[in-house]
Amino acid sequence: MTAHDAFTIEPWGLCEQSLDLDVLARAESVFALSNGHVGMRANLDEGEPHGLPGTYLNGVFELRPLPYAEAAYGQPESGQSVINVTNGKIIRLLVDDEPFDLRYGDLHEHQRRLDFRDGLLKRSALWTSPAGRTVRVTSTRLVSLTQRAVAAVSYEVEPVDGPARIVLQSELVANEQLPSANGDPRASAVLEAPLVAEHHAHNGAKAVLVHQTRFSNLRVAATMDHIVECDSPFQGETETEPDHARYSVTTVLKKGQKLRLVKFIAYGWSAARSLPAVRDQVAAALTAARFTGWDGLVEEQRQYLQEFWARSDIEVDGDVELQQAVRFALFHVLQAGARTEERAIPAKGLTGPGYDGHCFWDTETFVLPVLTYCLPDAVAQALRWRYTTLPMARERAAQLGLAGAVFPWRTIRGEECSGYWPAGTAAFHIGADIARAVERYVRATGDAGFERDFGMEILVETARMWRSLGHHDAEGRFRIDGVTGPDEYSSIADNNVYTNLMAQANLRAAADAATRHLHEAAALGVNTEEMAQWRDAAAAMYIPYDEKLGVHPQADGFTNHEMWDFENTPAEKYPLLLHFPYYDLYRKQVVKQADLVLAMQVRGDAFTAEQKSRNFAYYERLTVRDSSLSACTQAVIAAEVGHLDLAYDYLAEAALMDLHDLGGNTRDGLHMASLAGACISLVAGFGGLRDHDEHLVFRPRLPSGLSRVAFAMRLRGNLVLHVAITRAEATYTLREGEAIKLVHDEEELVVTADKPVSRPIPRPVPLERLHQPPGREPARRHAQSGPTVASVDPTGMHEGE
Angle between helical axes of 376-388 and 320-337 (0-180°, round to 10)? 40
Candidate list 176, 321, 488, 620, residue with the active-site label: 488
Q: Which DSSP helix (H) or strand (E) runs through 506?
A: helix 497-516
Q: Is 361 marked as a binding-site residue?
A: yes
Return the SS3 of 568.
Answer: coil
Q: Is 362 marked as a binding-site residue?
A: yes
Amino acid identity, position 74: G
Q: How far is CA 414 from CA 59, 167, 291, 438, in A?
A: 10, 46, 37, 18
Q: Are strands 729-736 and 757-760 parallel, antiparallel or unpaired?
A: antiparallel
Q: How far is CA 87 from CA 84, 175, 178, 445, in A?
A: 8, 9, 12, 38
Decide if 261 contacts 140 (C-beta within 8 A): no
What is d(CA 458, CA 406) in angstroms, rounded to the nearest whole number?
Answer: 10
DSSP string of 3-49, one letter each residue:
SSSSS---TTEEEE-S--GGGHHHHHHHT-EE-SSEEE----TT--S
Cα 168–173–177 angle (5° rounding)?
115
DSSP string of 172-219, one letter each residue:
EESS---PPP-S-TTSPPP-SS-EEEEEEEEETTEEEEEEEETTT--E
610 is annotated as an active-site residue: no
What is d(CA 748, CA 526) in angstroms, rounded to the nearest whole number?
Answer: 37
Q: How far is CA 631 from CA 91, 363, 389, 406, 653, in A?
A: 41, 17, 31, 28, 6
CB atoms inside a 10 Å sphere around CB 448:
12
| 163: preceding bond cis by omega (within 30 degrees) | no
Q: Is 593 marked as a binding-site residue?
A: yes
Cα 116–122–123 angle (5° rounding)?
145
What is d(CA 580, CA 488) in angstroms, rounded to the nearest whole number?
Answer: 13
Beta bridge partners of 15: 113
Amino acid identity, position 413: R
Q: Are strands 562-563 and 588-589 parallel, antiparallel or unpaired?
A: parallel
Altogether, the residues listed in the chain come to a count of: 801
Residues 403, 408, 413, 415, Cα dihedral to 10°: -70
List residues with catalytic annotation.
Answer: 488
Q: Binding site membership: which residues?
A: 361-362, 592-593
Q: Binding site membership for substrate: which residues?
A: 361-362, 592-593
